[in-house]
Amino acid sequence: MKILVTGGAGFIGSHLVEELLRRGKEVFVLDNFSTGGRENIEHLLPDPHFHLTVDSILNEETVEKLMKECNEVYHLAAAVGVKLVMERPVETLETNVRGTEIILKYANKYQRKVFIASTSEIYGKHKDHSLKEDDNRVMGTIRKRRWAYACSKSLDEFLSLAYYDEYKLPVVIGRYFNTVGPRQTGAYGMVVPRFVQSALKGDPITVHGNGKQSRCFTYVSDVVKATLALMDHPRAIGDVFNIGSEEEITIKDLAKKVKKMTKSSSPIIYIPYDKVYGKRFEDMERRKPDITKIRRLIRFSPSYNLDQILKLIIEYYRKKLR
């Protein structure tokens, strides 16, 4: 079995590639290192079953060549992270929309099964209850650049399901909720690596906004296992699934927990959103998934709680900072 992973040098992608290789697959990675990096997959380069192509998913010739070679596709390549979305909006929209168009076009040409990595961002400002896959979405004004990312990923989902409905292309869509773990960078606004690195260095732990916004964090190995299990299940085809944890915490309490677990003397400070991202930013107050659907289909349940996750990430960055 030959597998194509777009964005395979990224945070989640590199962990997915490792697990595929461990399961005896031959893996082809397409990545331009825009948000991922060679260091994430450097240890895999000697493996004869691992193949790296450094190029963009916008290069149709490259995509077609790899698609023809492989049996299945995991499409994880995307412009990600709040900071990147706010600073490079054109790149975000072109990569996420046009890139997915190209992947689906050639997957359909060669009839390859495709996993589309989507995001909890597509729910927008919905906050009344745990988010179910068929809930209505609540998008903010187009004047707030944050929602461009959410809309681009929504288009990816619409197009994927259109290919399934019209051409019977086997697609599976997974909406990731705040995945965390080793190799994740804080460079694009990801909160857990930012907090942990600041705490270990003794730098101020900076909370954006008032810290009352809440999130649910899932360890990357749980996300990878769920992704692979969905691709292996025939009833997942043509459907959408939340992949995440139901353990909810405010960002303010997360900062306090990180400070306590690292035994850090770092002060916790609060910075208004517009000082960090500019005036065209708006945040979500709450983002908690309902995982009933994926639990019923593949018996998914996260293996790690938040304390265990933070302990693993703190240990990772302690070693890294040494």
Catalytically annotated residues:
149
CB 217 within 8 A of CB 306: yes
Angle at 20 between CA 97 and CA 77, to 5 degrees: 15
Task: Find, among 129, 133, 115, the residue nearest to 226 by Cα.
Answer: 115
* Residue 150, token pair as written in the block: 């959410």
Give the number of other Cβ atoms within 10 Å of residue 128's Cβ: 8
CB 34 within 8 A of CB 11: no
Distance of alpha carbon 145 from its chain centroid, rounded? 19
How distant, in Å, are the alpha carbons of 1, 15, 19, 50, 178 from that of 229? Answer: 16, 15, 12, 21, 19
214-216 and 171-176 beta bridge pairing: unpaired
How distant, in Å, are the alpha carbons of 21, 113, 116 from that of 107? Answer: 22, 7, 12
Task: Find, among 219, 295, 216, 310, the residue nearest to 256 by Cα.
Answer: 310
What Rg, from alpha-carbon coordinates, does the chain have? Answer: 19
Which residues are 173's β-sheet partners? 116, 240
* Residue 164, token pair as written in the block: 């399934």
